Structure 1
């Protein structure tokens, strides 16, 4: 599963402009296999299905590694 989670609410830019995104969730896993297992589990599928209930403006999902 998830070994660490961080949640960010973005602030306006220095000029007061609206941020490009409202929120960001960063989920950390032991590795790619553990991430795949978590996201395809019943709980991971329920999380994905629930996304539209609170991400009313849509969501961008990206994957990466920490270097």
Structure 2
């Protein structure tokens, strides 16, 4: 199989994969849960966890 034939086959397979991905997305669009942003149990701010809390680190430095 020469390189041009391989490239053509790869393009065909990619096109099929994109079609399948689009169809699967339509079928399962409503069933996937989105993850919430992490919320710190130390200070209550969103975007980090207690182990990486800037308030906790600031207190530890002083």
The structure number with the bigger radius of gyration is 2
Q: Which has the higher strand share?
A: 1
Q: TM-score, normalised by structure 2?
A: 0.29
Higher relative contact order (CA 8 A, sep 6+): 1
Q: TM-score, normalised by structure 1?
A: 0.27
Q: Which has the higher helix share?
A: 2
